Amino acid sequence: MIKPVKNKILVTGAAGFIGSALVRKFILNDDFIIGIDNINCYYDQNLKKDRLKNLDHIFKDNKKWIFEKIDLEDKTSLEFVFSKYKPNIVVNLAAQAGVRYSIENPETYIKSNIFGFFNLLECCRNFNVKNLIYASSSSVYGGTKQFPFSEDNFANHPVSLYASTKISNELIAHSYSHLYNLPATGLRFFTVYGPWGRPDMAPMIFAKSILDKKPIKVFNYGKMKRDFTYIDDVVEIIFRCCKKPSTIDSNFDKSNPSPSTSFAPHRIFNVGNGKPINILRFIEILENLIGINAIKEFMPIQPGDVEETEADNSKIYNWTGFKPNTNLEEGVSSFVKWYLNYYIKK
């Protein structure tokens, strides 16, 4: 007997780190999933393809998992997908990622993160989507020194173009929530790590350098802290937000407005572990698990970077009943096991 479809969910960035993990979660929940991705060359395309192959291998002959290779900038193709599959929930994880890359390639971020997001919002509006969840970033907090980062703090001092595009996404999504009654939830992710992670992020860069016995560039002379958040915790929060669309805040005070809620069905949440660690401690954990000492090259802080991130995760807990809680050592251990199996033993 075929189980009934619970939801039709469109996941953009389905070949990405978070996207592919989320698709797996949805399929296990018997939802019908339409994944889209342009599989660009920002980082290793083979890794993106292998994430999709892994899903196909796990869910062989599954009729509730469809993948379409399209770009959010291609409005015609995007509209075709919405028309054909009629998703009632959309999770937008597609974006041009990377803080430092945005310094050298600003136009790419405007096209993908602004214009592409606009196309997606138009489709959500025109095809009567009931719930939109979209990726924002902890980078929106910019140069603030108010720790932990709270959604109640105004995020209006970005230090990278990438962060600016994410703030723009939040503002544009709010407008659509107000004008077209589109429930939308923005999730500010804090340094997501784990198996199948991104090669441009610290865990992968550090692991590769340690194994290759090459120097790790340790910026700001090691005086950096990051709120590392395990992939499974991030996926669980997105999953729960899909079950709970954003609503109007009945207590919203226009004379003293909250940055995280609204008179429109739009909300903003941090998604972070809430336990920042020094970057040197993270390297130490990797060294212990891999069994090789890292060669460290201490350098000044890079343009667009911030010294510390720390999430106040109380709001997401109050909203979903869950907050990231994976122990760092356990999470890094799972990452290292995957890394060695994927890159060394394959």
- Half-sphere exposure for 150 (CA within 13 Å, toward CB): 9
Judged on CB neighbours under 10 Å (0-12, 13-18, 19+), 25 is middle
Catalytic choice (162, 176, 230, 339)? 162
Q: Is 43 annotated as catalytic? A: no
Residue 143 is encoded by which pair of tokens? 């140069």
Of 16, 11, 25, 19, residue with least CA distance to 43:
16
- Could you identify the residue written with the tokens 């972070």? 272
Task: Kindly list the catalytic residues.
Answer: 162
